Every structure is written in structure tokens, then in C-alpha cells.
Amino acid sequence: GAVVSQHPSWVICKSGTSVKIECRSLDFQATTMFWYRQFPKQSLMLMATSNEGSKATYEQGVEKDKFLINHASLTLSTLTVTSAHPEDSSFYICSASYQNTEAFFGQGTRLTVV
Amino acid sequence: GENVEQHPSTLSVQEGDSAVIKCTYSDSASNYFPWYKQELGKRPQLIIDIRSNVGEKKDQRIAVTLNKTAKHFSLHITETQPEDSAVYFCAASRGGGGNKLTFGTGTQLKVEL
């Protein structure tokens, strides 16, 4: 099946710094990728839709200036958490779909802001 | 936008028993309904999905039923095993797996020996 790889798997950063998370589709091209956030013992919540070659579409309540998304190629989308704070600590997961069949998820990134 | 409700939030069954998890959705345009199993710290794993042109789908011990009129769908796991213990999420989307998913709140399933 199609593979989506996310990097890093976990990261610890200091409050006020920025962190970049990469999401790659390894064996297919993805014009659209999705970024989700999952707090402990909660569900996955869509943050934004990443569109190759154009601006991302953010869900209501998600600050676009804080969560910067870049989808510069058909196999890579990045999410940058800027000026991270402890409340941004969460599990971030990306997904992409091959030929609209099913969503393939990256392995997730555990972000801890200290 | 879409809203997906899921019940129960926790479910404990004895090994070999059946487990049923139910979800309702609000957007009548949703036509793709996947179910995911997620273990702690891992990515969601698709276990079964159903599209709105069918009412039921089965894969070995797992089945999903869909009632479009009532806007609800259910996951049925038979002959449960300890390795079935995990958190299960339902989801809904318009237009298939390539579109954004709205997830239910999750069900913690525990299969006891």
C-alpha cells in the first residue's frame, strides 16, 4: 500500500522556538495532504488542508500565522509550529490519499514544548 | 460542517464476546465512513470502511453497517481477542479517502481474558 512518512517522530523544544515537521508521500504523488492534531485521550482534529502549489486551508480556530504550512512539491508538506508554547504540545499527524482510495497516515510527531 | 458523535466512550467485553460501537453523522453529503484502530502513540490504522452506496460490509471478524436515512453507522467486532484492545475511531467525509475526515470522539475497547 501507499506509504506516508513523517519526521521527526518526536521532538522537544523550548518555549518560544519554532519546530518544523515533515510529511512525505514515499511512493505516490499527493496534491493534497491533511494535518491533524491529537491531544492526549482525545480525537484527531483537522487543523488544515495542505494544497500543492497554493495556500493551505485552515480550519476555524487554527491560527495560520502560528501553524505555517508549505506544500512545495507533490511529495512533501511541512508544518512549522512557530513560537511554540506548552499548550502546543500534542501529537501531530499528517495524511494523504492515493487515488482517493483511503487516507494514509504518517506515523505522527509527538511535540513537547518545555 | 460535519459533526460525528460516537458511543460508547469505553467498552469492556469478555474475550470471545462481540463488541459494537455506534456513530452518527450530521452532513447528509458525507459518503465515506472509515473505522480506525489506534494504539497508544501510533498512527490510526484503517480496519474497514464503507461507502454510501452499500449498507453493509464484512471482513472476517469485522463488519460495518450504514443507515443513510438515519445517518448512523456501526462497527461490529465478533469473537473479540485481547489484541483487539485499543481505541477505535469512526470518521466521515465527502468524496472518499482523499477528502478531509471528521472523526468521532473515540471508543476505548478493552477485551478481558
Residue B89 pLDDT: 98
Residue B12 pLDDT: 98
Q: Is the pLDDT of residue A77 over 80?
A: yes
Residue A99 pLDDT: 83
Question: Which carries the bigger pLDDT value, residue B1 or residue B103?
Answer: B103
Mutate to test the interface with A, among B57, B103, B105, B108 (most CBs of A within 10 A): B103
Q: Is the pLDDT of residue B97 over 90?
A: no
Which of B89, B95, B96 is facing A44, going by the closest CB pair? Answer: B89
Q: Name every residue in B having a CB less than 8 A away from some CB of A.
A: 34, 41-44, 46, 49, 89, 95-106
Which of A34, A43, A99 is facing B105, going by the closest CB pair? Answer: A43
Residue A45 pLDDT: 98
Q: How do residues B3-57 score in pLDDT, each as one tens digit?
A: 999 999 999 999 999 999 999 999 999 999 999 999 999 999 999 999 988 999 9
* Cross-chain Cβ contact A97/B101 below 8 Å: no
CA distance A62 to chain B (A): 15
In chain A, what residues touch B42 (CB-CB under 8 Å)?
107-108
Q: Is the pLDDT of residue B95 over 90?
A: no
Q: Is the pLDDT of residue A95 over 90?
A: yes
Alpha helices in A12-94 (DSSP H): none
* Cross-chain Cβ contact A100/B97 below 8 Å: yes
Give the residue on B whose Cα is nearest the Cα of A102.
B97
CA distance B42 to chain A (A): 6
CA distance B79 to chain A (A): 26
Residue A15 pLDDT: 98
Question: Average pLDDT in the A55-77 region?
Answer: 95
* B61 Cα distance to chain centroid: 13
In what side-by-side order are the strands of the sheet with A67-73?
Answer: A4-7, A19-25, A76-81, A67-73
Question: Average pLDDT in the A1-17 region?
Answer: 95
In chain B, what residues touch A32 (CB-CB under 8 Å)?
98
Give the residue on B whose Cα is nearest the Cα of A98.
B98
> What's phi and psi for A80, nearest 5 deg?
-110, 120
Exposure string for B63-95, b = 16+ CB within 10 A, e = fewer: bbbbeeeebbbbbbbeebeeebbbbbbbbbbee
Q: Is the pLDDT of residue A1 over 90?
A: no
The answer to whether the CB of B32 falls within 8 A of the CB of A101 is: no
pLDDT confidence band for A10 (50 / 70 / 90): very high
Give the residue on A whose Cα is nearest the Cα of B3.
A45
Residue A2 pLDDT: 87
Which residue type does B27 have? D
Exposure string for A7-29, b = 16+ CB within 10 A, e = fewer: eeeebebeeeeebebbbbbeebe
